[in-house]
Amino acid sequence: MRLCGEDIIGRPDDEANARAVVERALELGVDFIDTADSYGPGTSERILREAGAPEDAVVATKAGLLRESGGDWIPHGDPDYIRNQVLVSRDRLGVDTIDLYQFHRPDPDTDFEASVETFAELKDDGFIDHVGLSNVTVEQLETARDIVDIATVQNQYNVAHRPDEDERVLDACEEYDIGFIPWFPLAAGDLDEVDGIDDIADAHGASRYQVALAWTLHRSDVMLPIPGTSSVDHLEANVAAGDIGLSVDEMARLG
């Protein structure tokens, strides 16, 4: 998402830098990259193709959320739109089959089951390998699982934001062995209210943001955090968080 311009609209100021971020991620062994057709719109998918991501990593993209120039995000789960967007995303990414295609957000104006059935049809037709959901409840996950195998769920979740509903979703993902992809794993930097995070960071010679990422990895075996960045330095710091081992006591203090 952060490979785009300001407010996730249009091209970044430095496209060479954006490609360099992706290339460095691949060099560091990152093998899962999340994007969406609405990031730019289209900008992120194109840059990922130009940087070679689809050849060396699982690239997960999404459909079902429109982006307006004024900054609004508008749910749009119309089946015909999704069928169109899978073709657009395949072209931008330069692939015949999308690794993981996610329903970006339920649309209150479109029947949820109809939207998910469209993703199931795209899988049957060979356009995508796996189906994912984003921003869903446990009930919506259960409904979708009756239609198609669900590989992943992507909801907002981090050490500072753990509402009961998303805890229930994570529990369900653990039960069904579904990958859980927390978006905003760094809480958009808002970690001031997390008790003990700075003390724990100091003990590990790390930043509070690295500890927040390490917490997600320790929280569950099905967790796939997706920290976004437009900087190689930040990327390297994020990847290094995977080497931080938090103790049982530290996890308990973080909650």
The last residue of a domain, from among 156, 180, 202:
156
* Domain shared by 44 and 152, yes or no: yes
Cα(55)–Cα(49) distance, rounded to whole angstroms?
A: 9
Q: Based on the fold, state whether residues 116 and 180 are members of the same structural domain.
A: no
pLDDT of residue 185: 95
How high is the pLDDT of residue 189?
83
Pairing of strands 150-156, 179-183: parallel
Q: What is the pLDDT of residues 98-114, one digit of tens each?
A: 999 999 999 999 999 99
Q: Helix-strand-coil percent breakdown of the chain, rounded to 5?
A: 45, 20, 35
Q: Verify whether residue 39 is a known catalytic residue.
A: yes
Predicted model pTM: 0.96
> Are residues 164 and 152 part of one domain?
no
CATH at residue 56? 3.20.20.100
pLDDT tens series, the chain, 255 aa: 999 999 999 999 999 999 999 999 999 999 999 999 999 999 999 999 999 999 999 999 999 999 999 999 999 999 999 999 999 999 999 999 999 999 999 999 999 999 999 999 999 999 999 999 999 999 999 999 999 999 999 999 999 999 999 999 999 999 999 999 999 999 988 999 999 999 999 999 999 999 999 999 999 999 999 999 999 999 999 999 999 999 999 999 998
For residue 124 the two structure tokens come to: 């049957």
Which tens digits make up the pLDDT trace of 177-220?
999 999 999 998 899 999 999 999 999 999 999 999 999 999 99
Query: Residue 54, preceding bond cis, omega within 30 degrees?
Result: no
* pLDDT value, residue 46: 98
Q: Which residue has the tokens 């509070």?
A: 208
Catalytic, out of 39, 101, 157, 209: 39
Looking at the chain, the whole-number percentage of residues with pLDDT higher than 70 is 100
Task: Write down the pLDDT at residue 42.
Answer: 97
At residue 188, the pLDDT reads 84
Domain that holds residue 6: 1-156
Do 77 and 182 belong together in one domain? no
**If DSSP codes are grouped into helix, strand and coil, which group holds residue 244?**
coil
* Among 156, 189, 223, residue at a domain's last position: 156
